[in-house]
Structure 1
Amino acid sequence: MSGVGVFYVPADKLDQYWPTFGPMIELAQKRLADQCGLDDVEEWLRTGRSLLWGIYVDGEPMAAMMTTENTYPRKRVMVIEMIGGARADLWSKPALDELARVSKAAGFDAIETHARAGWSKMAKQYMFKLKHVAYELEL
């Protein structure tokens, strides 16, 4: 098993890490291009609306994850907004385990994500439960 590390990137360090992790986030952002551009994503990270996480395998940057918070009347949820990179087979399980540990320590009740259908097998493998299906009607 390779060494996987997950590191929060503070907004004041974004300029230092964005050249590495921005292109990885862009891989996920492209599926949402009709909703937001990469410039919007960068603004969310700079203002603290969203958080950036770097994922390393054996000291090499391999993926990036962006999260935000949803607070419902009965539940506080860490939301994985975007995740992109290479070789998810190497880092996905340890990265999600670390996000779960950090989220629980910070008082969150759950982690949720909105993903393309291709992630469904991995989501089940990591004990995510299907809660709803989203539909969109373009106007």
Structure 2
Amino acid sequence: MKYSVDKKEQYVIFTPHEEKLDSSLSPVLKSELLTVHAEGYRNLILDMSEVKYADSSGLSALLVGNRTFNEDGGIFVISSPQEHVTKLIKISMLDKVLNVVDTHEEAAEAIFIHEIKNNTDEDGEEEEEI
């Protein structure tokens, strides 16, 4: 699987350079997402701009990424999906589960809002304990 990883301070942008996300590539994507998470990154943007086709195993990889990054309070955002992938996500009703946005800017904004909300929640909990 061809891909690139762009590590920022608050998040990682993971970009598959593949047209299809199917059963031959999904296990590799799952593995790479788990590796990025294991490196200590809590937030990830999955840039789907080059992926023209996904099947059920591709959706499974997206769900694994979503669960992995959400488990420890992070966020997993799918950015720039093409029409077929967007339709598949909606037909599967995963648009209610996954964070899907049209642009990198919206994805970065979602992460910053998530981080601010988490910091506010943590501050609030600390104040209640005192």
Task: Give the TM-score category using the shorter length.
Answer: 0.3 to 0.5
The structure where helix makes up a greater share of residues is 2
The structure where strand makes up a greater share of residues is 1
